[in-house]
Amino acid sequence: MTTANPLADALHAFADAVPYRATGAETVPLAEAAGRVLAATLTAPEDAPPYHRAIVEGFAIHLADTKEASAEHPVILRIVGRVNPGDAEFPLFHTGEAVQVATGSIMPDGPFAVARMFEVTVHGGTVSLSRPFPPRFFIEEKGCDHTQGSPVVSAGTRLGPVHIGTIASLGIDTVTVARRPRVAIFSSGDEVIPHTSPMRPGAIRDGNQPMLAAAVAQAGAIPAPRGIMGDDFDGFVAAVKAALADSDMVLISGGTAVGGRDFISDLVKAVGTLVVDGVPMRSGRPLIMGVADGKPLVCVAGHPPEALRGFGLFGMAALTRLTGHDAPLPADG
């Protein structure tokens, strides 16, 4: 894909180089599934709702009783029972009779309707109606939300509260989700010191590693901070190779500017394949991306706002691909 936007082109090229759903899947309790990406489409094990039910409070009536009903000639029906939510059966009732129902009460199949409370007049043990009613009026049909075997939540969906509630309503307590990617995070530069260290002249405290770890966690992945690497090329290569052995993605901040660009590009080439070599952000700070054994290498600028934005574009694109999340690529906003 080629456009007039080099950054967008680089984003698509990088995303295409990252394997789809590479993290695999695992089964987790529904209570722990919020924010996880569904790995397999979930189908309904039963009809939902599993029975016809009233969706308002009122009276169950036979349609035949209301055909001639009008304000001038109301129809009077005898109240012969009541059905509450939780009752397993609806009693048999005949024309000329009505059964009081509550919202959620089970309802029978057939030519019936529910007359709402404000549409009737109750006189002791009778109820009067003054108009005809359409078939199945205010009756929710069995399976109207989902029929048995129909798809409920598609693979690639990031599960939110509504999804969790829907799944729970079907009696499901475990779901198969994409395994959370483990992201190794490095900061780079001889001038960078741990954020807990005393400040010294010429040093920069490492705010990027905690910041990017928080962004990774917020994205639903597992952050694995690996410390600060200086300008020892061989040592950095060894550290990245070690990280690739037990991580799904490597995220490096710093060293992508002109002065250190060859260093980071060569680092990526030493451990994998260079896919994006120095495409500039709007600030002019470049990004470097690669893939090693199917695992994305995301190298962002050391400037904190640009580091976070670089992760928001390329890091999120990589995580989306790794987990199979059905979401568009991040926009270059």
Q: Hey, where are the domains in the chain?
A: 6-24+179-323, 25-47+146-178, 53-140
What pLDDT is attached to residue 261? Answer: 61
CATH hierarchy code of domain 53-140: 2.170.190.11
Give me the mean pLDDT over the 60-85 stretch: 96
Which pLDDT score is estimated for 281?
72
333 pLDDT band (50/70/90 cuts)? very low
- What pTM was computed for the model? 0.82
Least confident of 19-33, 62-76, 175-189, 268-282: 268-282
Using DSSP's 3-state secondary structure scheme, residue 237 falls into helix
Task: Quote the pLDDT of residue 5.
Answer: 81
Please enumerate, as own/partner, the contacts of 212-217 that have beta carbons within 8 Å and a separation of 24 or more. 212/185, 212/251, 212/253, 212/307, 212/308, 212/311, 213/185, 215/308, 215/311, 215/312, 215/315, 216/183, 216/185, 216/251, 216/311, 216/315
Are the C-beta atoms of 306 and 285 separated by less than 8 Å?
Answer: yes
Percent of the chain with pLDDT over 90: 82
The pLDDT, as a whole number, for residue 45 is 96
Q: How do strand 151-153 and strand 126-129 relate by DSSP bridges? A: unpaired
Q: What is the pLDDT of residue 22?
A: 87
- Checking if the pLDDT of 79 tops 80, the result is yes
Selected residue with higher pLDDT from 286 and 16: 16
Q: pLDDT tens digit string along 213-263?
A: 999 999 999 999 999 998 899 999 999 999 999 999 999 999 766 565 678
Side chain identity, residue 154? S
Per-residue confidence at 280, pLDDT binned at 50, 70, 90? confident
What value does the mean pLDDT of the chain take? 93
CB 136 within 8 A of CB 112: yes
**pLDDT confidence tier of residue 282, bands split at 50, 70 and 90:** low
Q: 6-24+179-323 has which fold?
A: Molybdenum Cofactor Biosythetic Enzyme; Chain A (3.40.980)
- List the end-to-end C-alpha distance of the chain, in Å, as a whole number: 19
Record the tokens describing residue 317, joined without a space: 């694109």
Instruction: Look up the CATH superfamily of 25-47+146-178.
Output: Molybdopterin biosynthesis moea protein, domain 2 (3.90.105.10)
